[in-house]
Amino acid sequence: MELVDVLNTRKEFTGEIADKHNIPEGYYLLSVHIWIINDKGQLLLQQRLSTAHKFPNMWSNTGGAVKAGETSIEGAVRELKEELGIIVKKEDLEFIASYKRTRDFADVWLLKKNIAINDIIVGEDEVQNVKWTSFKEFEEMLKNGEAVKSSYDYLKLFMADNKKI
């Protein structure tokens, strides 16, 4: 059981804690999405396990639920370490956006970092493969149903606004 803080419709903490799979109706949890981009403008993607409950075998960015007592950025730092073995400091991450979904608020973060694939240590209970890909290649993967769209629109908008793609 993974405990998370319960948020109201205004993204305010209620002081309640619940299992991430049992959030009361009308309330939310906080999740994080981390996009990793290297100096070549490529995205680091991870492939979900074939046994994953949601989106098996699909490619996506790093992310997950923020645990009870954590801040969004602390959750992002933890998820990077758990899923890919990437250790970063809070100041390495750049906030992009926050948006409300059906049962959570998703905070989107950007990590600009060159990482060798051989240096990645996949969290075997979540990730089966990793690769670098271009924005164009990722969009093809989305069209072909091989990738999870998730917070991609927010990343693309942010990058375009900052003249980085």
Domain extents for the chain?
3-161
Question: Residue 29: CB partners within 8 Å, gap ≥ 6?
Answer: 4, 5, 6, 7, 18, 20, 23, 65, 66, 103, 104, 105
Using one digit for the tens of pLDDT, what is the confidence trace for 79-113? 999 999 999 999 999 999 999 999 999 999 999 99
* Average confidence score pLDDT of the chain: 94
Using one digit for the tens of pLDDT, what is the confidence trace for 41-88? 999 999 999 998 889 999 999 999 999 999 999 999 999 999 999 999
- pLDDT tier, 164 (very low <50, low <70, confident <90, very high otherwise): low
Which pLDDT score is estimated for 165? Answer: 53
Q: What is the pTM of this model?
A: 0.94
Spatial separation of the C-alpha atoms in residues 19 and 1, rounded to whole Å: 6
CATH 3.90.79.10 fits 3-161, yes or no: yes
